[in-house]
Amino acid sequence: MNSASKTTIMKTASALLAAIAFGCSLGATAGEAEIRQNLGTRIPQFAKIDEIRKAPVPGLYEVRINGFEIFYTDEQGNYLLQGNLIDVKARRNLTEERVEKLSEVAFDKLPVQDAFKIVRGNGKRKLAVFEDPNCGYCKQFERDLTKVDNVTIHLFLYPVLGPDSVVKARNIWCSKDKAKAWTDWMQRGVAAETAECDTAALTRNREFGQKYNITGTPTLIFSDGTRAPGAIPAAQVEKQLAATH
């Protein structure tokens, strides 16, 4: 970040804090309608606000748009701040925690009819994974995941990396043995044969991912709703499976 950007951020933060202090000194009360009106009128992207709620800082309000975008404003919506709200004393990123909470998915609410199963061992433990067939990290993760036993994996094809991902996902989904076609491609580089079938499930998977802020692959969801983005090691998968079983 250059010095000009830092100066702009510091000025914005100072102005916002000054506005908060001024509002508190006047004993002002927050009005959600006023915040919506002022922000919506002045900034087009805030014409539709999902939620306004009090932030942990007195006089500061959280404004959420587009599902998971978090901003902060004063009681009248005259100032706007974008960035992470940090609880310095507790060393917690409150903005990050809030986004994680908003994007939680109850495991029993997952649309498993739009996934296929890979069962290892007794299959007692449960795991859902969203992956793109062209994702290099996913291929690394799949090779490492073979070390994890006694698990049922609900594999959601999530083709988000381009048109070729959609083609590969379609061919895998339309295969007679989806799990084998997936494993052959991800672990051995053997592509599934060209096939046609109803691929509405792939569209629903992308829509589901957008709704629940699944922005990268692989994304893992454990049976307690815990989410892990990225190709985490098998040892960490094993640890989290043990904790949730």
195: CATH? 3.40.30.10
Residue 161 pLDDT greater than 70, yes or no: yes
Split into its structural domains, the chain has a count of: 2
Mean pLDDT of 112-133: 97
- If asked whether residues 65 and 160 sit together in one domain, one would say no
pLDDT score, position 67: 84
The arithmetic mean of pLDDT across residues 168-176, rounded, is: 98
Same domain, 90 and 198: no
Flag whether the pTM goes above 0.75. Answer: no
Q: pLDDT by residue (tens digit) across 41-91?
A: 999 999 999 999 999 999 999 999 988 899 999 999 999 999 999 999 999
Give the domain-ending residue among 102, 136, 155: 102
In a shared domain, residues 234 and 126: yes
3-state secondary structure 158-185: CCCCCHHHHHHHHHHHCCCCHHHHHHHH
Do 41 and 83 lie in one domain? The reply is yes
Sheet hosting strand 69-73, strand order edge to edge: 51-54, 61-65, 69-73, 80-82
- For residues 90 and 116, state if they share a domain: no
Average pLDDT value over all residues in the chain = 87
Whether 85 and 123 map to the same domain: the answer is: no
Tens digits of residue pLDDT in 178-220: 999 999 999 999 999 999 999 999 999 999 998 888 989 999 9
Q: Are residues 124 and 45 located together in one domain of the fold?
A: no
Same domain? 96 vs 113: no
Claim to verify: residue 119 and residue 205 sit in the same structural domain = yes
**Among the ranges given (43-47, 51-55, 146-150, 241-245), the one the predictor scored with the smallest mean pLDDT:** 241-245
Domain ends where: 56, 82, 102? 102
Q: What is the DSSP string of the chain?
A: --HHHHHHHHHHHHHHHHHHHHHHHTT----HHHHHHHHHHH-GGGSS-SEEEE-SSTT-EEEEETTTEEEEE-TTS--EEES--EETTTTEEHHHHHHHHHT---GGGS-GGGSEEEEETT--EEEEEEE-TT-HHHHHHHHHHTT--SEEEEEEE---S-HHHHHHHHHHHTSSSHHHHHHHHHHH--PPPP-----HHHHHHHHHHHHTT--SSSEEEETTS-EEES---HHHHHHHHHHH-
CATH number of domain containing 90: 3.10.450.70
What is the spatial distance between Cα 238 and Cα 145, in angstroms, rounded to a whole number? 9
Whether residues 67 and 128 share a domain: the answer is no
| 236 and 157 fall within a common domain | yes
Same domain, 178 and 207: yes
Range of the domain at 234: 107-244
Domain end residue (candidates: 102, 136, 163)? 102
